């Protein structure tokens, strides 16, 4: 579908949805806790629904009641054998649930979009190969089967995605006996590991972290009541709109959050000072929106951009091509992106979301200044289904 973005500013209040990154973790903790948990401030988006449906297939009972999710947990031992899990386009769902196949010893088949199944999985592949577990892609699906992983000492590459580390952190507490995770390489997106630690702690599992991650022998997570905080990633395009002239009051956020994307306000402040150099290693999801704002303030030089090509789209190059429609010069290099400035933006530009929610929301920032259209606007349902609806409600006439 195509969304028309009129030229103009936005003024009013918007409450952001709960963090989908936190909801994935909380749902998984609750799904394998011995008892009933309630997750407050719950809201659905495509990625969260993928996790809900997969956990139901693994044996958890999940009921959504208004803004609550009531979860009755199952056990790793009771996971059915031969189950097929459809992860849709959710990288978190896939990478967080593969370890549960590994520790259960059950055969699981993971389905998903072609783009999802092409995303890097080498960290888990290496772990499986070392422990006699078969993991392979066949007929458009990823299969995991073989020996059950026992507790012990594990090494995992943290230089591609922190999701591999978080996936093990979520699964290993359900083994009998303590385990140690040694993270190899330069760990990226460290705030997401801190987020996993925080959610696990709320469900009764306290991991020890120094140069290694020590997982205690604690027989799994405990049922609890948990309230999810607002999503700083979803708030980023709203703050970006403010940076170019709108006056949106963003509600529902925790200023003391461990979410890495809470850096958005600081980074936008640096952009506004002109020709900023910004490292997005720990907040890669902010790259598209930072690229959209940079041309308004003499450009920017982003580093730590290697992983953008493995997202829902090749985000660096996708944004470069879309920004080119506005006359913005962009250079995508090895680990960096240079965004230039433009003297005058053309008006009434049609852009493509590239089937990527972050791209759609980021390009809206420029379109609010120029007017135009976003093709594929429906993809915001992956994380922020009401994004355009809420903006329409506060658009200045």
pLDDT, tens digit, 9 for 90 and up, residues 266-313? 999 999 998 899 999 999 999 999 999 999 999 999 999 988 887 788
pLDDT, tens digit, 9 for 90 and up, residues 240-273? 999 999 999 999 999 999 999 999 999 999 999 9
- Indicate the pLDDT class of residue 239, thresholds 50, 70 and 90: very high
pLDDT, tens digit, 9 for 90 and up, residues 58-89? 999 999 999 999 999 999 999 999 999 999 99
At residue 70, the 3 state secondary structure works out as strand
User: What is the C-alpha separation between 371 and 131, in angstroms, rounded?
Assistant: 55
Q: Which two tokens stand for residue 161?
A: 């995605």
365 pLDDT above the threshold of 90: yes
Count of residues in the chain: 397
Q: Which two tokens stand for residue 288?
A: 């598209």
Cα–Cα separations (whole angstroms), residue 329 to 129, 321, 322, 344: 44, 9, 10, 13
**What CATH number labels 2-17+230-393?**
3.65.10.10
The yes-or-no answer to whether 2-17+230-393 and 20-226 have a common fold is yes
Burial class (CB in 10 A: 0-12, 13-18, 19+), 174: buried
pLDDT, tens digit, 9 for 90 and up, residues 344-362? 999 999 999 999 999 999 9
Contact of 111 with 125, CB cutoff 8 Å: no
Buried b or exposed e, range 268-294, using 16+ CB within 10 angstroms? bebbeeeebebebbbbbbbbbbbbbbb
Calculate mean pLDDT across residues 122-145.
95
What letter does residue 338 receive in the DSSP assignment? E
pLDDT, tens digit, 9 for 90 and up, residues 171-217? 999 998 999 999 988 888 899 999 999 999 999 999 988 889 999 88
User: What is the C-alpha separation between 129 and 135, in angstroms, rounded?
Assistant: 8
Within 10 A of 325 (CB to CB), how many other CB atoms are there?
17
The domain ranges of the chain are: 2-17+230-393, 20-226
Within 10 A of 47 (CB to CB), how many other CB atoms are there?
23
What residues are annotated to the active site? 285
Contact of 296 with 243, CB cutoff 8 Å: yes
Element (DSSP H or E) covering residue 40 = strand 36-40
157 pLDDT above the threshold of 80: yes
Backbone phi and psi for residue 27, each to the nearest 5 degrees, phi listed first: -60, -45
Within 10 A of 78 (CB to CB), how many other CB atoms are there?
13
Q: What is the pLDDT of residue 219?
A: 77
User: What is the C-alpha separation between 347 and 370, in angstroms, rounded?
Assistant: 5
Q: What is the pLDDT of residue 185?
A: 85
Q: What is the pLDDT of residue 187?
A: 85
Contact of 75 with 175, CB cutoff 8 Å: no
Q: What is the pLDDT of residue 112?
A: 96
Q: What is the pLDDT of residue 211?
A: 82
Q: What is the pLDDT of residue 22?
A: 98
Backbone phi and psi for residue 348, each to the nearest 5 degrees, phi listed first: 55, 60
User: How much of the chain, in percent, has pLDDT values that exceed 70?
Assistant: 99
Q: What is the pLDDT of residue 117?
A: 94
Residues ≥6 apart with Cβ < 8 Å to 5: 364, 367, 368, 371, 372, 373, 374
Contact of 311 with 346, CB cutoff 8 Å: no
The strand ranges marked E within 252-379 are: 276-279, 300-303, 330-333, 336-339, 349-352, 372-375
Strand-strand pairing, 372-375 and 2-5: antiparallel
The residues facing 122 across adjacent strands are: none
Q: What is the pLDDT of residue 253?
A: 98
Topology of the domain covering 20-226: UDP-n-acetylglucosamine1-carboxyvinyl-transferase; Chain (3.65.10)
Instruction: Round the average pLDDT of the chain to a whole number and report it.
Output: 95
User: What is the C-alpha separation between 79 and 350, in angstroms, rounded?
Assistant: 47
């Amino acid at each position: 579908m195509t969304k028309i973005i009129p030229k103009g500013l936005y003024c009013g209040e918007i409450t952001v949805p709960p963090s989908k990154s936190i909801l994935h973790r909380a749902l998984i903790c609750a799904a394998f806790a011995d008892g009933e948990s309630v997750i407050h401030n719950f809201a659905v988006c495509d990625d969260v629904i993928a996790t809900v449906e997969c956990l139901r297939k693994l044996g958890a009972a999940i009921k959504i009641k208004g803004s609550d999710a009531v979860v009755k947990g199952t056990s790793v031992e009771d996971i059915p054998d031969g189950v097929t899990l459809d992860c849709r386009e959710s990288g978190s769902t896939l990478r967080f649930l593969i370890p549960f196949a590994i520790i259960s010893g059950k055969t699981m088949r993971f389905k998903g979009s072609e783009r999802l199944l092409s995303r890097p999985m080498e960290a888990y592949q290496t772990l499986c190969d070392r422990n006699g577990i078969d993991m392979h892609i066949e007929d458009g699906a990823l299969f995991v089967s073989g020996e059950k992983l026992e507790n012990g000492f594990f090494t995992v590459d943290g230089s591609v995605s922190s999701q591999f580390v978080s996936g093990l952190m979520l699964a290993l507490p359900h083994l009998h006996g303590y385990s140690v995770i040694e993270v190899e390489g330069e760990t990226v997106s460290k705030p997401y590991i801190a987020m996993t630690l925080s959610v696990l702690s709320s469900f009764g599992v306290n991991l020890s972290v120094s140069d290694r991650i020590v997982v205690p022998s604690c027989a799994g997570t405990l049922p609890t009541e948990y309230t999810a905080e607002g999503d700083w990633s979803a708030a980023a395009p709203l703050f970006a709109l403010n940076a170019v002239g709108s006056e949106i009051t963003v509600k529902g956020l925790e200023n003391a959050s461990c979410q890495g994307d809470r850096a958005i306000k600081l980074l936008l402040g640096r952009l506004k000072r002109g020709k900023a150099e910004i490292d997005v290693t720990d907040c890669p999801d902010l790259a598209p929106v930072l690229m959209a704002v940079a041309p308004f303030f003499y450009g920017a030089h982003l580093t730590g951009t290697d992983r953008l090509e493995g997202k829902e789209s090749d985000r660096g190059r996708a944004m470069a091509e879309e920004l080119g429609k506005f006359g913005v010069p962009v250079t995508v290099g090895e680990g960096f992106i240079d965004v230039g400035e433009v003297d005058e933006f053309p008006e009434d530009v049609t852009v493509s979301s590239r089937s990527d929610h972050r791209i759609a929301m980021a390009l809206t920032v420029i379109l609010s200044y120029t007017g135009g259209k976003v093709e594929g606007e429906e993809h915001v349902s992956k994380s922020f289904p009401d994004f355009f609806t809420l903006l329409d409600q506060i658009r200045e006439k």
